[in-house]
Amino acid sequence: MGTASAPSLSAAVSVMPPKNSPRRGFDVDAFDISPTAIAWCRQRFPRSLVRYHVTELLASPSAWDGIFGFVLEVYTLQVLPPDLRLRATRRIADVVAPGGTLFVVCRGREPDDEPGHMPWPLTRADLDCFVTHGLREQSFEDFLDDEDPPARRFRAVYIRP
């Protein structure tokens, strides 16, 4: 994805070009609540075709409902406190198109583990909310990364039937 190397973006959502389109790749919308983050992306990638938006996830446009063929969520849910996180999970699920894919990466913990300080690692139940909101879990990985010391992370893929 065009935004894979834009580290300050909270999420990136993309729409596949229509079938038989001569264009290759993705049309990409990417957003962050931070105007500074978005300005930095525009400055860093001036030729990018990505549509960058300063948008708060929970106030993202209703025009985004159910239209994105691929949605990427990396390390944003874990910076939100629990009440906002629940609503954010629902909003992320809402923008996935029928047949579309959501890819999620976050820190992971057991329900009994102390959440500690922000970024708060998520539990599997936190991610199961995507299923509650109509997505189907396609894969779920629970792994230790290669940091020193290693951090536990979840990497999961959901599909909207």
Ligand X SMILES: C[S@@+](CC[C@H](N)C(=O)[O-])C[C@H]1O[C@@H](n2cnc3c(N)ncnc32)[C@H](O)[C@@H]1O
From the list 142, 86, 136, 156, the residue with the least C-alpha distance to 113 is 142
From 13, 28, 37, 92, residue interacting with ligand X (rule: CB under 6 A): 37
Quickly count: other Cβ atoms within 10 Å of residue 24's Cβ.
Answer: 6
Residue 11 CA: distances (Å) to CA of 30, 75, 77? 6, 9, 10
Q: Do the beta carbons of residue 78 and residue 127 sit within 8 Å?
A: no
Q: How many residues form the binding site for ligand X (CB under 6 A)?
A: 14
Smallest distance from ligand X to CB 21, Å: 28
48 binds ligand X (CB under 6 A): no
Smallest distance from ligand X to CB 47, Å: 21
Question: Which residues between 55 and 94 bind ligand X (CB under 6 A)?
Answer: 56-57, 74-76, 79
3-state secondary structure of 36: helix
Interacting stretch for ligand X, rule CB under 6 A, among 3-11, 62-70, 126-134, 139-147?
Answer: 3-11
Q: Which residue is nearest to ligand X (CB)?
A: 10
- The amino acid sitting at 141 is E
**Interface with ligand X (CB under 6 A):** 7-10, 32-34, 37, 56-57, 74-76, 79
